[in-house]
Amino acid sequence: MAKSNTGKKGLTLKALSKSNVWDLQENDVFRIWEAAEKESDLKDNARHYIDIIKSAFEVEEIRIDKPEVIKKYEARDFKVGQLRTDESSKIKLAIKKRAIKRVTDLTYENIRHITAAQLLEVIDRNFGGGWDSLSQSIQDIIQSGFDISTTTLPKDRLHKKGGMCEKKLNDGFELLEIAKGTWVEAIFAKVKPLQEKPRMKFDTEDELDTEDDDEDVDIIDEYENNNDEEEDEYDEDKLTEESYRTTFDEDPEALALEDTDIVDDEDY
């Protein structure tokens, strides 16, 4: 086994989490463990590290260390290696990266470790049911890592020149088409850029207290003002189509469908 101080992207065993462990491949796991073998607290934390590794890898301990047993694991695409848990103890493990094949394999930890094309392959395997066939919890996981847009159009309209499909593809989205009778559901997916959360910094506790007091007054004023405005301005006649929301950008082609007949699910 080759010597290495760190795994992928400088990751160390102590810095391992259930999210960044998905950055590793099988050989990386053995390398970062080997780099940590001389650390005094490895024995106390070994079980914790193994549990994190198990969140992204299938892990099996090899109790019968014979060539024929090792070959069986390797035939199943496992990598086999030894991990030292303390100065006198070693265990032999077979590990293999968990595949993300079904929508139920998706988690908040691994959603950013697949591409948009891979995501759409996973959705396509979900019995061809489309976006609405996914549970709300799965949709939430997906949308934590990807921008998703959906629309349903007649087959001959989806790829019309200059239409929504062309615009989305030019904007870097990947496309999944799901046939629904003479219509097609189009699911567009694009990786969301990582965004750092803004952090507020106060110089002193007095400043913090002052800011909190000012904020409380602002909130009360805003609440009272909003109530006055709602009482004065509410008018049912002012409700417009702006009150409604879609999952995709407005498109003339899509809006034109409002004049078409509604197609029942039973007709698909």
Q: What is the pLDDT of residues 78-103, one digit of tens each?
A: 999 999 887 778 899 999 999 999 99
Total-model pTM? 0.66
Q: In the structure encoding, which two tokens stand for residue 113, read together?
A: 């470790």
**Range with the lowest mean pLDDT among 5-19, 58-72, 125-139?**
5-19
Confidence of residue 60 (pLDDT cuts 50, 70, 90): very high
Q: What is the pLDDT of residues 171-209, one digit of tens each?
A: 999 999 999 889 999 999 999 998 755 555 545 445 445
Provide CB contacts within 8 A for 133, sequence distance 6+: 126, 127
| Percentage with pLDDT > 90 across the chain | 55
| Per-residue pLDDT at 152 exceeds 70 | yes
Q: What is the pLDDT of residues 206-243, one digit of tens each?
A: 544 554 555 554 544 554 555 554 444 444 444 444 43
Determine contact, residues 178/130, Cβ cutoff 8 Å: yes
For residue 102, the tally of other CB atoms under 10 A from its CB is 12
What is the predicted pLDDT for the residue at 126?
83
Cα-trace Rg, the chain: 27
The long-range contacts involving 169-177, CB below 8 angstroms and separated by at least 24 positions, are 173/116, 173/147, 173/149, 174/115, 174/116, 174/117, 174/119, 174/120, 175/120, 176/120, 176/123, 176/124
